Amino acid sequence: MGVRTFTAVIASEHSGMRLDRLIADLWPELSRKLAQRIIVAGGCYLDGRRRQVAATPAPAGGRLKVCVDPDQPFRTFRLEPSAILFEDDDLLVVDKPSGTPVALSATGQEGSVQRGAAEHLARAGAAHRPAVLHRLDQPTSGVLLFAKNEPAEKAVYELFRRGGVRKTYLALVQPAPARSEGRIEAAIARRVDRRNQYKVSRERGKASLTEYRRLGRGPDGTALLAVTPRTGRSHQIRVHLAWIGAPIVGDTLYGGAAHPLVFGLHARRLELPHPRTHRPAGFTAAVPAGWLAAFPWLAGIPDL
């Protein structure tokens, strides 16, 4: 695919706005991080002149052109009503599908849940871009929380910082861990020899704690675990479960058995005080249908 071009005349209400923020506001498929990379790479023009500083203020009446050159077409993601778990004036909670990134990729080749959420809010006339409050790895499915306004965004960020948000995951592993429940307390660090991969490292790692409880076992050596991360390190659950010899099904990055239909990590439930009312709120995402189809024994687990 050739260069994809976005053009606009800058309105007076956008005067003085940073270029990266303006681009993200004008075109939801271009995240702010992606806009910054486009600008630095030389793909942004104001009145015909290349601008390579993301903080450049936008002039009213200026002609803005943004050029993106992905190797493949943009893939879009539409947030279906059935995927919305909860919505009010402050929060949007969705059931993220496995395989879809939370935010737009650096190359712009993929749609994202954030873009789908932005388009959903835009159709309803909302002016605020949905803020990502936490992350799920691209293959992970389940509960994902967005803020719809700045006060909610700040309040929930503070809750995460203070440990006021509880997250529970379901992990489908093979083989089952030796113990039916346990605490995994092992520091995690980024690997220096492999990009986007982490490992347990006592010397360089950050303190990390994961708790798990076995919910059931299958005839094929698989097991279903309820997992609660007490810290929020990247790939924490995946690294910890692999470290104790119980890698996640489908997680080949950390030694899990390849599976054509299943990546066995699902954000099952998220609980927090509501940012406006401060009342307890909890959101639950159903077990992916693909899990039940591939592992019929899961249907026998109570309350799944």
Q: Helix, strand, or coil here: 182?
A: strand
pLDDT for res 97: 93
Instruction: Show which of 24, 52, 68 is a domain's final residue.
Output: 68
In a domain? residue 176? yes
In a domain? residue 38? yes
CATH number at residue 32: 3.10.290.10
pLDDT for res 74: 47
In a domain? residue 142? no
In a domain? residue 183? yes
Single pTM value for the model = 0.76
Instruction: Show which of 48, 68, 88 is a domain's final residue.
Output: 68
Please give the chain's pLDDT, 304 residues, in tens: 467 888 999 988 889 999 988 998 888 777 777 888 888 778 899 999 989 888 899 999 999 999 886 543 445 678 899 999 999 999 999 999 998 889 865 444 457 898 889 888 888 887 778 899 999 998 999 999 999 999 999 999 999 999 999 999 999 999 999 999 999 999 999 998 877 899 999 889 999 999 999 999 999 999 999 999 999 999 999 999 999 999 999 999 999 999 888 999 999 999 999 999 999 999 999 999 999 999 999 999 988 7
Task: Verify whether residue 137 is a known catalytic residue.
Answer: yes
CATH number at residue 195: 3.30.2350.10
Instruction: Name the CA dihedral angle for 118, 122, 124, 126, rounded to a multiple of 10 degrees.
Output: 90
pLDDT for res 106: 47
Q: Using CA atoms, how far apart are residues 211 and 258, in angstroms rounded to an integer?
A: 25
pLDDT for res 157: 94
Tally the domains of the chain.
2
In a domain? residue 301? no
Alpha-carbon Rg for the chain in angstroms:
21
Which of 90, 95, 137, 251 is catalytic? The answer is: 137
Q: What domain range includes position 254?
A: 167-266
Instruction: Show which of 20, 43, 68 is a domain's final residue.
Output: 68
Q: How does DSSP assign 247-265, residue by residue?
A: PBTT-GGGTPPP-SS---E
In a domain? residue 89? no
In a domain? residue 172? yes
Q: Using CA atoms, how far apart are residues 179 and 181, in angstroms rounded to an integer?
A: 5
Contacts of 158 (CB under 8 A, 6+ apart): 164
In a domain? residue 274? no
